[in-house]
A and B are shown apart, each in its own frame.
Chain A
Amino acid sequence: MFLGQTLRRKHFERDALPHLPAVYRMARQLVGAESADDLVQETFLRAWKYFETFDPTTNCRAWLFRILRNVWISRWRKSRLELPLVDTGEEQIEPYYDWEGEFLREELSADVEHALSEVPSDYRLAILLADVEDCTYEEIARIMECPIGTVMSRLNRGRRMLARLIQAYGDAHTSGNQPQVFVRRKP
């Protein structure tokens, strides 16, 4: 069903545009400050184009995140040097990670951001959706087009990787040495 243009604009303004700050936050963490505006702009243009397909009884923010992810994959991620992840299920959950280590201090916000940028993008996206946007696992699975078990393993592994990176940056500040980074990169 094709909405009249005026009604369509009204609905878009009511349902989609209020999520612009959330889409921007996500875009900034995915592509960096210099490209975030372009990613947001393209996401909303695509959302506008396909707004007829949005089901108003569902969560518009999750729909926008899904578009954002698709735009990001098609336009940005393929140009980055990053190995594909191998995460197929819960067997990769790491139950005994030592959370007792001191790794979070008030002044570490820059370290958190730096560490986050080092976490593989699929893990990072899962963490951002869960921790910043408070999405449920089911919503994350829909946005990332993967099973819930994969969401669980990405969150589990991603958070532990993030904690280790933050700790490594914190230790480097203390000792004055470069942190030991252990995220996989293409040679």
Chain B
Amino acid sequence: MMDCKDLREVLDLFVDGELSPEATVKAETHLAECQACRRAADRLQGLRQAVKATVSQYEPAPELVHSVRRSTLSPWHRRPAWTLAMVAVALLVVALAASVPQLRGVAANTLEATAFHLDDSRSVVMEGTLLCRDCQLKKEYGYRAMCPLKGHHGTLQTKDGKIWNILDGDASEDLIHNSALLGRIVRIHGRCFRRASSIEVDSYEVL
């Protein structure tokens, strides 16, 4: 048997449907006999319904629904019109640079600036060869690499020859420290911080 004290202790669980079937039967038996507890249960149920009715009246604006859909489902999400315009300008500059050697420096700087503007630190997929950073610097610049003592340090070299630092993280552990992967072509999914020439790795595939 359940008395008033027992019932009040489990009143929330009762109205939320969280009591076991046996306890629910006991609670219902008590409620059938006790007007005060029945009223308490009705009031609590009423509070639940009032909260639900109050909160449920709000719906997202169509603009928000559209904006969320665009920012998640569209491949060119959150690319404002001026970004696309900058791409067009950059292409034009490239075309000019190809024909007028004097403009090459200007074109290179503009392209770099454009790249920085396009880089919004969102998801990217980058493909390249995994190389040891220090060995590469030794090869190219005569840097005194400490690899024999401290081990290799993996970085990603993309097709344009650029070397990207791989930021430390759970998903990047092997890319940085597993020497067996050096020389392999990998596809990295993550974020690119262009100014810092760094990549944050969410996941990767060895191709």
Which residues of A does B touch, CB under 8 Å?
Answer: 2, 5, 9, 12-13, 16-17, 20-21, 24-25, 28-29, 37, 40-41, 44-45, 47-49, 52, 93, 95-97, 99-101, 103-104, 108-109, 112-113, 116, 127-128, 130-132, 136-137, 152, 155-156, 159, 162-163, 166
- List chain B residues, Cβ under 8 A from A116: 51, 54-55
- Determine whether the beta carbon of A25 is less than 8 Å from that of B58: yes
Q: A21 CA to B18 CA in the complex, in Å?
A: 26
Q: Number of residues in B with C-beta < 8 Å to the partner?
A: 44
Q: Give the residue name and chain of the A residue nearest to B59 (CB).
A: A21
Please tell me if the beta carbons of A44 and B205 are within 8 angstroms of each other in the complex.
no
Which residues in window 29-52 of B have CB below 8 A to A? 36, 39-41, 43-44, 46-48, 50-52
Using known A-B contacts A49-B123, A159-B44, determine if residue A132 contacts B69 with beta carbons closer than 8 Å: no
1/0 contact trace for B1-34 toward A, CB 8 Å? 0000100110111001010000000000000000
B9 & A93 in contact (Cβ 8 Å cutoff): yes
Residues of A within 8 A of B64 (CB): 20, 24, 37, 40-41
Please tell me which one of the listed residues B13, B36, B59 contacts residue A152 in the complex, with CB atoms under 8 A apart. B13
Given the known interface contacts A49-B123, A159-B47, the answer about A17 and B54 at a Cβ–Cβ threshold of 8 Å is: no
Please tell me which one of the listed residues A13, A41, A93, A109 contacts residue B73 in the complex, with CB atoms under 8 A apart. Answer: A13
Chain A residues near B46 (CB-CB < 8 A):
104
Distance (whole angstroms) from the CB of B155 to the closest CB of chain A: 21
The chain B residue with its CB closest to the CB of A96 is B8
A41 shortest CB reach to chain B, Å: 6
Complex: A128 Cα to B48 Cα, angstroms: 9
Indicate if the CB atoms of B51 and A44 lie closer than 8 Å.
Answer: no
Contact B43 A127 (CB under 8 A): no
Contact indicator B67/A162 (Cβ below 8 Å) = no
Chain A residues lying within 8 Å of B197, measured Cβ to Cβ, are: none
For residue B59, which residues in chain A have a CB less than 8 angstroms away from its CB?
21, 24
Q: Point out which of B39, B51, B52, B57 has the most chain A C-beta atoms below 10 A from its C-beta.
A: B51
B157 to chain A, nearest CB (A): 22
Output the nearest chain A residue to B49 by Cβ-Cβ distance. A131
Beta-carbon contact of B43 and A99 below 8 Å: yes
Q: Are A100 and B58 neighbours in the complex by a CB distance under 8 Å?
A: no
CA distance A136 to B20 in the complex (A): 13
Tell me if B71 and A25 are in contact (CB < 8 A): no
Bound-state Cα–Cα, A155 to B18, Å: 13
**Which of B51, B56, B73 is close to A127, meaning CB atoms less than 8 Å apart?**
B51
Residues of B within 8 A of A108 (CB): 50
Residues of chain A with a CB closer than 8 A to B161's CB: none
Contacts A2-B189, A20-B68, A37-B64; is A128 near B44 (CB within 8 Å)? Answer: no
The answer to whether A155 and B12 have CB atoms under 8 Å apart is yes
Instruction: Name 20 A/B residue pairs within 8 A (Cβ), A-sorted.
Output: A2-B203, A9-B72, A9-B73, A12-B72, A17-B68, A17-B72, A24-B59, A28-B58, A40-B68, A41-B64, A49-B123, A99-B43, A100-B39, A101-B43, A103-B43, A109-B54, A112-B50, A112-B54, A137-B18, A155-B12
Find chain B residues with CB under 8 A from A12 CB. Answer: 72-73
Partner of B18, one of A47, A109, A136, A159: A136
Q: A17-B73, A49-B123, A156-B12 are in contact. List 9 more A-B contacts (CB 8 A).
A: A41-B64, A48-B72, A93-B12, A97-B8, A100-B39, A100-B40, A104-B43, A132-B56, A152-B12
Q: Which residues of B contact A130 (CB under 8 A)?
A: 16, 48
- What is the distance, in angstroms, from A134's C-beta to the closest C-beta of chain B? 9
Chain A residues, Cβ within 8 Å of B52? 131-132
Which residues of chain A are near B48, meaning CB under 8 Å? 130-131
